[in-house]
Amino acid sequence: MSDSNNLCPICGEGHLQPQVGKNPVEYKGQTTELEFYFSICDACGSEQSDAAQLRANKRAMVAFKKQVDGLLSGAEVRALREKLGLSQADAAKVFGGGPVAFCKYESDDVAQSEAMDKLLRLAAEIPAAFEVLAQRMDAAPVVSPVDWEEVRGWSVEVDISAESSTKRPQLRVVSSSTSMDKPRWRNIAA
């Protein structure tokens, strides 16, 4: 956790002694105590954290925030990815986030977005959803004419049945292949 010689960079005489303290933190009204890594110089008494200690402290905070936000922990993301049989690089191709995204999620360097979290859970729970995502990874380039034809084949339809006329309109996604004989959009006022 420290330089090889542990020499204090401030006084240049003492040596840094690694310490582990408790750091009370608060996030969205929830509090906890996180381990806090730092070093104390045995000569000048200055407290400092090196790069590795700072990284450990930051990861502990990110992990706590994930817990409060109800997101998958880094270990859970790793377990989920391995269950799906993906390398970190392939997971980024399937789910997005950039080439080093999963390395960062799994080490608690960054928190995945709520959208990414839901996508991961969906893929883990519904094999067919994962297959669709994995197939899209194999289709290169990502935005091809074929892809856009598929996108055009789907539309959002407002469903106003007599029974639900007093309720909020129900939006549902329909495939044009099953609604060719119907107008794609129905007038809400009709």
Binding site for Zn ion (CB under 5 A): 8, 10-11, 14, 41, 43-44
Q: Which is nearer to Zn ion, 11 or 142 (CB)?
A: 11
**Bond preceding residue 141 cis, omega within 30 of 0:** yes
Name which of 8 and 86 has its Cβ closer to Zn ion. Answer: 8
Closest Cα to residue 43, out of 17, 61, 22? 17
Q: How far is the CB of 2 from Zn ion (least distance, A)?
A: 13
Nearer to Zn ion by C-beta: 39 or 112?
39
Q: How far is the CB of 15 from Zn ion (least distance, A)?
A: 8
Q: Is 29 left (phi over 0), alpha (psi -120 to 50) or beta?
A: left
Q: Are 73 and 64 in contact (CB under 8 A)?
A: no
> 41 vs 94, which CB is nearer to Zn ion?
41
Quick one: tokens of 24? 């009370």
Minimum gap (Å) between residue 14 Cβ and Zn ion: 4
Type of residue at 181: D
Least Å from the CB of residue 47 to Zn ion: 10
From CA 173, how far away is CA 155, in angstroms rounded?
6
Neighbours of 149 (CB within 10 A): 9
Place of tokens 């204090």: 8
Pairing, β 30-41 against β 154-159: unpaired
Q: Least separation, in Å, of the C-beta of 45 and Zn ion?
A: 7
- Lookup: tokens for 58: 């930051």
Give 13 or 114: the residue with its C-beta nearer to Zn ion. 13
